[in-house]
Amino acid sequence: MYDYLKEAGVLNGTPEEIASAKHQYRTQYKKQWKQQKRPRKELRIDVTLKQFAAINRNALEADLSRTAYARNIILAATGSEKFIPHKEQLLEILQLVSMAAIAAAKNNAQLSRLSEWLEQAETMLMQYLKHTT
Per residue in 55-69, pLDDT tens? Answer: 999 899 888 899 999
Residue with more model confidence, 86 or 123? 123
pLDDT higher than 90, residue 122: no
The reply to whether 42 falls in a domain is no
Q: pLDDT tens, 46-57?
A: 999 999 999 999
Q: Do 101 and 64 fall into the same domain?
A: no
Question: What does pTM read for this prediction?
Answer: 0.45
Residues in the chain: 133
Nearest alpha carbon to residue 121 among 96, 90, 86: 96
The reply to whether 70 falls in a domain is yes
Q: How much is the pLDDT for 99?
A: 79
The reply to whether 55 falls in a domain is yes
The reply to whether 62 falls in a domain is yes
- Distance between CA atoms of 130 and 86, rounded to whole angstroms? 12
Q: How much is the pLDDT for 49?
A: 96
Mean pLDDT of the residues in the chain: 83
The reply to whether 18 falls in a domain is yes
Q: Do 120 and 98 fall into the same domain?
A: yes
Cβ proximity of 86 and 132 under 8 Å: yes
Q: Do 24 and 53 fall into the same domain?
A: no
Q: Which domain holds residue 101?
A: 87-132
The reply to whether 43 falls in a domain is no
Q: Do 25 and 53 fall into the same domain?
A: no
pLDDT higher than 70, residue 108: no
The model's confidence at residue 30, banded by pLDDT at 50, 70 and 90, is very high
Q: How much is the pLDDT for 109?
A: 64
Count the domains in the chain.
3
The reply to whether 44 falls in a domain is no
Across the range 32-44, mean pLDDT stands at: 83
85: left (phi over 0), alpha (psi -120 to 50) or beta: beta
